Amino acid sequence: MKKFTLCSLLLLSSVIFWRCEDDFQSSMKLGDFSFMLDTTTWKVPVDGGRDYRVIEAPGDWTVKIQYPEGTTDKWVKISDTTGSFGKYKLTLVAGANTSYEFAREASLVFSSGEQTETMKIYQPTPIGAVVKQDTYNVEAGDTVIKVEFTVNVPYDYSISDNAQKWIIPVLGKAVDNVTLQFQILASNRSRERVGTITIYPEGGEAVPVTVTQAGASELIEYPIYEETDLRGNVSFVKNSDGSMDAWFLRSTPMKFQSEPHMYNKTGWWYAVTDNTNNAHWGKDAYDLGSGPIALKFYASTAFNQLCYMGSGSCTFTLYPWDTDYATSMAKTPVFQKTMTYDGGWAYPTGAGEYLPAGNYLAVVEGSAGNSVMVTTNEPDDEVWAYANGASTKKFLALSYEVYFQNPGVEFDNFNAYDFSAMVKAHSADGQSWDEPEFVFTANNAMLSQRDNLGYANNMAIAKVGSDYFMALSHDENGIWMAKSANGKDNWEILGDKSILESGKVVSMFINDAMIYLYFQVGSDIHVATTSAGSSDWYTTLKDNGSVLTVPSGVGGVSVVYNANISKYQILYSQSDVISSYVADAGTDKFEAGDIVVDGTRAGATQVGYFTNEAGIVPDEAKTWVGYQYSRGLIAMPL
């Protein structure tokens, strides 16, 4: 019954509709009226749409769609294109305009007999941008990509936070307002990395462009130092001129018997390697009236009783060696003494007057008639000579005694004190590194406190105000502070006791006028802080307690303020991966952070960022890390 009723209603509806149209048509007479179109325009929405138009025709009619010349996209559809006398409702359909460059236009031309009517159709462009390519897959090496896009409104763009250090805008090199260029820095990761460039058209939707860079098959690394005698942590510094330094402590050898200048099995070192007929004591007299005679020499261990042979009076000056003769002569001397001797041995330093391992320049000057003993000798990697400032083979017959632990035994069993030596490696660009240079005044200061710092194995350096400070420790036996006016010379220990009674140095830096000294006690990383306002700030450091308990199996840690991420950050190494902990404040508990380097050489320990002189990682496009591994030190750009 329900089905029947519905059919009846439908039949009734159809009849009513037919009658309305029949009545309308029957009331019209052919030729009684002009051709009529209810509207003459249609503005189509950007997304397209459907609309209806009514025409009244006095007779047969047609409609044609006309497009501007060159149009290939026939984007307007109409339900009927022909008809006869009467009134008609036509359906118009248009698709979305996907072009961000061109609005679309068309015309509908209706004709009936001699009469025509035209309807203009217009569709605007969408507001926004469209990219030619939305995905870039690049290799691990350095490259440049061009992001081409069409945009019809003002726009901006951004680079995702995780990629701002390796996707770099090439400023001033845009081809036009729809092409942006980006340098993709070489990857130093073993895994791929993904970043996003997002274009923001004003009033439109954001358009993402994904950049995926393959991982490096070989990590980009630069050896700093390729020896195995490092002790403890390293301070990596990026200087204001872009050059880089790596400060670290290395051990001096306990065994020295195989050194070429230690040939006579007495524990005495000789500059002259020929000991035939005591030639190592000097064969010829050199008259000081000919100008100063000088000897550059390397002492691998701490030593005393520096001596030579001569006759008369002279001035003996010992300099720390630096680069070349002229540079060394300009440095502050280790000491300068007036010597008077009668042809025997002269001792500028006596027994017990110890000097640290390092490179030195000994210079003897005097007037005519005063002489020193020399022997013609070939220079080697450790010793060479100068006469009146010019290279010579006339070697001053210099000698010294090694600082022994057990001088009463046979020579083969001698053990030197293997004290720590502070050295600094330097690089102009982070890629090619000079041979590390001994930091004489720091080493001399540590030797003067050898009961506490002779075997120092942890250090940190930072510039506070106009001075440089170095925190030093041996294991967890307390922390000492040293100071230098220029960070190169004249390091001196501050006070006669440690500034903190226990703990070993981890890191030190200054941020927002506060000094942070991180140190390790057992498995806990502590932080001591104080204001940087006074010159003796190191006397007011306050331990704020532990900020992190170092997990088992973690290598040496370092702490920085990282301006790139606006957080305090701890780096650590584990399983050949460098990872991080982060905190919003330097005294807060640190929480697990991101992986920084996901592949290092085997056995990586003692990791750290290259920081500025204040100990902060600056907000720069390119950051570097350094780390120690089983065969030396590595610098790595990120």
Q: What is the pLDDT of residues 377-414, one digit of tens each?
A: 999 999 999 999 999 999 999 999 999 898 788 899 99
Q: What length does the chain have?
A: 638
CA-wise closest residue to 300 among 353, 261, 350, 246 = 261
Are 315 and 338 in contact, with CB atoms under 8 Å apart? yes
Instruction: Using the predicted structure, report yes or no on whether residue 11 has a pLDDT greater than 50.
Output: no
Instruction: Using the predicted structure, report yes or no on whether residue 430 has a pLDDT greater than 80.
Output: yes
Q: What mean pLDDT do residues 446-472 have?
A: 93
d(CA 133, CA 147): 7
Q: What mean pLDDT do residues 163-179 have?
A: 73
3 state DSSP class of 10: helix
Query: What does the pLDDT read at residue 603?
Result: 82
Q: Which positions ≥6 away from 502 have C-beta within 8 Å?
A: 476, 477, 478, 521
Predicted confidence band of residue 33 (pLDDT cuts 50, 70, 90): low
| Domains along the sequence of the chain with CATH | 28-123 (2.60.40.10), 129-213 (2.60.40.10), 225-247+419-637 (2.115.10.20), 268-402 (2.60.120)
Range 10-19, long-range pairs (CB < 8 A, 24+ positions): none
Predicted confidence band of residue 237 (pLDDT cuts 50, 70, 90): very high
For residue 578, give the amino acid letter: I
Angle at 251 between CA 470 and CA 502, to 5 degrees: 45
CA-wise closest residue to 114 among 49, 54, 35 = 35
d(CA 83, CA 113): 12
Question: Which pLDDT tens digit goes with each residue over 298-342?
Answer: 999 999 999 999 999 999 999 999 999 999 999 999 999 999 988
Query: What does the pLDDT read at residue 361?
Result: 98
d(CA 145, CA 163): 14
Instruction: Using the predicted structure, report yes or no on whether residue 175 has a pLDDT greater than 90.
Output: no
Torsion sign (Cα): 229, 231, 233, 239: negative
Question: Which pLDDT tens digit goes with each residue over 124-160?
Answer: 888 888 888 999 999 988 999 999 988 888 889 999 9
Are 320 and 272 in contact, with CB atoms under 8 Å apart? no
Are 303 and 404 in contact, with CB atoms under 8 Å apart? no
Q: Model pTM greater than 0.75? A: no
Q: What mean pLDDT do residues 236-246 have?
A: 94
Q: Which positions ≥6 away from 471 have C-beta within 8 Å?
A: 459, 460, 461, 479, 480, 481, 505, 508, 517, 519
3 state DSSP class of 292: coil
E strand residue ranges, 264-357: 268-270, 284-287, 293-299, 303-320, 335-346
Instruction: Using the predicted structure, report yes or no on whether residue 27 has a pLDDT greater than 80.
Output: no
Torsion of CA 619, 623, 628, 630, to 10 degrees: 160
Number of Cβ within a 10 Å radius of residue 187: 22
Average pLDDT score over the chain? 88
Predicted confidence band of residue 177 (pLDDT cuts 50, 70, 90): low
Predicted confidence band of residue 35 (pLDDT cuts 50, 70, 90): confident
Query: What does the pLDDT read at residue 172?
Result: 53
Question: Which pLDDT tens digit goes with each residue over 546-555?
Answer: 999 998 888 7
CB-neighbour burial class of residue 123 (10 A; exposed 0-12, middle 13-18, buried 19+): buried
Query: What does the pLDDT read at residue 428?
Result: 95
Number of Cβ within a 10 Å radius of residue 330: 9
Query: What does the pLDDT read at residue 336?
Result: 96
Instruction: Using the predicted structure, report yes or no on whether residue 189 has a pLDDT greater than 80.
Output: no
